[in-house]
Structure 1
Amino acid sequence: MKEYKLKGLPVCMRMVKAFRYYFQHPWSRLIVAYLVTFFNFLIFAEDPISHSQTPANVIVVGNCFSFIANKYPGGGWNFLKVLMWLLAIVTGLFAGKFLFHQLMFGQLLRLKMFRKDHGSWMVMFFSTILFLFIFSHIYNLCLLITGNMSPFIINEYMGIRNENFMKLAAVGTWLGDFVTAWMVTDMMLQDDSYPAWGKTARAFWRKGYNRIVLFWSVLITLTSVVVVVITTDWISWDKLNRGFLPSDEISRAFLASFILVFDLLIIMQGSQHGIHGPLG
């Protein structure tokens, strides 16, 4: 079978190399990372739940939140409750690190994505949520045995309105998305894989402590502004939008799907270059 070659390489190999070149190009990675931030704010602004005054009701997360933040009976029960959620957090961290990450994912399943310490923080975070949920039910059992404590039973109701919950979610989304996008920016300005890209910006970014100072100053400043805007409703999306970008349940579902796909693209575009983090 005749093999067509172009400059010494098979055509298919050159196509793969060309695709990877543009797929991992700094502009491609930056656009994808910052679009995720924009789409998340757009879905927050368009979602009717952001203006809802009904009680926030979120399974598992609601239990963890109300277990820590509210529904304290008073007296000795407060001490017991704080002791139990502290114990749940410590148990979740140790179980996530040694039981799930090292033993189950590392030794038993031998998943490469969890080799050494890779992904340990994510596993520890989710295992902490799991144990907070479990310990909240143990605490509920203590309340049921005592009797007449039904108002303090921990359930999926968070004790806040959906409007406030969505504001908390928006702040958390901003921290996750912008830190990711800003770290991608930091990596691209340190990378030498595309020497013709951003020569002036990369030279300035690497000079002295410019990178560390700019990274943290921009992050702290923008985060402070975003938190103030979200919590005070200083900017009203409805007044700015005026029906220009109307949405319904289907369009918001597609938007959420785009966010998921773009999050996966960020992971797929990433590659290990031995680049320093923002701390040094």
Structure 2
Amino acid sequence: MSQDGFRAGEIDTSRPHPARIYDYLLGGKDHYEVDQQAGDRLAAVAPEVFIGVRANRDFLRRAVQHIVGGGVRQILDIGTGLPTSPNVHEIAHAVAPDVRVAYVDNDPIVKAHADALLGRTGETSVVLADLRDPRAIVDHPDVRRVIDFDEPVAVLLVAIFHFLTDAEQPAQVVATLRDALPAGSFLVLSHATGDFADRTEAQAVYRDATATMNLRSRAEVERLFAGFELVEPGVVQVPYWRPDTEPPTGSDTIGFYGGVARKTD
């Protein structure tokens, strides 16, 4: 594992990992005490985090339903995190049973759990890879086994890009993925922000984790969709992206933006 711990490598349980913190906040069981402690510190300084992660998960569900309902049959989920039911393939298959899903994460624990849950079938694959090397993801044989880049693909980058620093060129990462996609493909992205409150203390929780938290404004998040055409309502706080129920109380404080966009050419 590299010094910053973000690249794929051996399991590191000495520091909190974003995927395991997220699992704890969602009420999962696949985390360590160090991750729970980090989650508790995060909730102490950003009380909306519990409804925020659930709202983000609901955004993912609605976005997948929208895209699959529109005819896309391939999903590349990068930064998938620990399995949380309903998983992306479960959401997609409820709409269209022939959807193929490639899951990608840099945490070996995530891959181990996903492998155990999914097995190895023609419809899904689980890949250990680093978001900061998007070309390697696109070219990975276990991605190519289920994803045909000559046909429309939905790329999911949900609650992962805020773990990239500006020096790691997040816009270039998106551009590399975008350029690999044919017309008719989609990008689903959500991103943490400090637009609604000072979240300096929340960022500090991640200084000892395997990846830092890098908050970005709405304008900065919108720029990540360059080369795509945003679908209505554009980039908004995740509870307000095409809600199918009344957004939960406190939604206006949730520090997650989300958007869905289509590649038109």
Q: TM-score, normalised by structure 2?
A: 0.23
Q: Which structure would you say has the larger Rg?
A: 1
Q: Which has the higher contact order (CA 8 A, sep 6+)?
A: 1
Structure with greater proportional helix content: 1
Structure with greater proportional strand content: 2
